[in-house]
């Protein structure tokens, strides 16, 4: 599945979670999936917990997150001699 096909699984509906990105129009936010993964949940646990969720949906969340952080710029803190 291509990146654009994966990203097409991420949708925005202003009536669901205030327009936050969600998976395939369902009431599961991308941030929720990412949070569960960050907390240590496995892909298998997520798939068991949401019977409609597909592995490609989780991959789509990761691709979406990658696209967001790829455009961030972090300024280094330069220690000066005081």
- Asked if residue 75 belongs to a domain, the reply is no
CATH number at residue 43: 1.10.10.10
Please state the pTM of the whole predicted model: 0.84
- Asked if residue 36 belongs to a domain, the reply is yes
pLDDT in tens, 12-65: 999 999 999 999 999 999 999 999 999 999 999 999 999 999 999 999 999 999
- Asked if residue 55 belongs to a domain, the reply is yes
Domains in the chain: how many in total?
1
- Asked if residue 43 belongs to a domain, the reply is yes
Could you list the residue range(s) of the whole structural domain that residue 11 is in?
Answer: 3-68
CA dihedral (51, 24, 30, 43) positive or negative: positive
- Asked if residue 27 belongs to a domain, the reply is yes
Q: Hey, how many other C-beta atoms are within 10 angstroms of the C-beta on 8?
A: 12
Whether pLDDT at 81 is above 70 = no
Q: Report residue 54 as tokens.
A: 């597909």
């Amino acid at each position: 599945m291509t990146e654009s096909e994966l990203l097409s699984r991420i949708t925005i509906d202003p009536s669901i979670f205030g327009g936050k990105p969600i998976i395939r129009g369902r009431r599961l936010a991308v941030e929720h999936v990412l949070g569960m993964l960050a907390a240590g949940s496995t892909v298998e646990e997520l798939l068991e917990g949401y019977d409609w969720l597909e592995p490609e949906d989780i991959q789509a969340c990761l691709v979406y997150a990658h696209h967001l952080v790829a455009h961030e710029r972090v300024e280094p803190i330069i220690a000066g001699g005081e």
